[in-house]
Amino acid sequence: MWYEVHRFQENLDVLKIFLSELASREEEIITFGLKRVSDWESYKKAKPIIEEFEVEFLEVEELSKYIAKDIHEQIKKIKNESSIIDELTTISVQLSILTNKKPLSISGDVLNSFLLHIPYMSGIFKHRQLFSKEQISIHKTLVTLTRLKSLAKLLEKIYRKTSDLDNEIFKPSKIDSNALLEKLDSAVQALELNNSIAVHDKERLIEYIISAKVEISGEKPNWNNTLGALVIVATLLGGVAVAPQAYDNITQAIQHILGVSIEKHIPNMLPPPQGEQEDEGFGVETTIT
């Protein structure tokens, strides 16, 4: 859905601001320690975004599959070739460890400041680095985030344009909203009773379903948004095979919308039946990645 893609763009901007400050103040941090970073406003804003980056990135990648295949391929290529997820995870872990280290004493701060102004010692400081080049390059990470921002912006633009064609494709008067809401309620109940899916993943799935319910219950539902949310849930559940009742209710809801309201031919949006998809990294306690 467009607002998720839009939020992803905003989060990328926050990350870029933090990493730019980190790169520009690298010499200062090496000299006086990473403890200072924990007081930065940019770090406080970026920290929760870094922690959730992998989830949000994979959600946008999944959405792009149904909006623009060429953009999806570019996002997928960035994920595989840039190691952006590993890079941000490395930054997050190292900052978390180092910002909690015991800070320098006042005398240590003064000594480092003094050494920084001695030509030979200053050269030593300047050749030290926050992160090993083998692990991460902040500059390369910034370039990758900029590329992702451009693709996400284009993805949102395409999605909004597609949404404008809603009336040409759907005839909402043929959709039985009450029947749809019953199916979605049944799917939520089935998920709530399911103990095979990790709690945080279950909450994400239910959140998607509830967003679809809110849309359906509105005066002028956006059926593209509704379908987008339901297709994501069906896709995620389709590769798990541990919540068949929830999966069946969601796919029946999608089939109802497509079956009674489509005036023009559009590609099949449903994922393959359970058991026919490749496992996308689900464990014993199923975790949606």
Give the C-alpha separation, 59 to 206, whole Å.
15
Query: Tokens for 128?
Result: 């030290």
Name the more confident of 201 and 28: 201
* 75 pLDDT tier (thresholds 50, 70, 90): very high
Query: Tokens for 287?
Result: 């975790």
Q: Between the ranges 99-113, 203-217, 250-264, where is the mean pLDDT highest? A: 203-217
Find the mean pLDDT for residues 222-249. Answer: 86
- Given this model, what pLDDT does residue 272 score? 53
- Given this model, what pLDDT does residue 225 score? 84
Question: Which of 33-42, 110-119, 173-182 shows the lowest per-residue confidence on average (mean pLDDT)?
Answer: 110-119
Q: How far is CA 113 from CA 33, 34, 122, 220, 224, in A?
A: 12, 15, 10, 63, 59
- Given this model, what pLDDT does residue 287 score? 52
Average pLDDT, the chain: 77
Name the more confident of 16 and 89: 16
- Given this model, what pLDDT does residue 100 score? 62
Question: Tens of pLDDT along 249-263?
Answer: 999 999 888 877 655
For every residue of 13-27, DSSP letters joined together read HHHHHHHHHHHHTHH
Q: Are 174 and 260 in contact (CB under 8 A)?
A: yes
Three-class SS of 193-235:
CCCCECHHHHHHHHHHHHHHHHHHHCCCCCHHHHHHHHHHHHH
pTM, rounded to two decimals: 0.52
- Given this model, what pLDDT does residue 107 score? 45
What percent of the chain clears pLDDT 90, i.e. is strictly above it? 35
Q: Are 84 and 78 in contact (CB under 8 A)?
A: yes
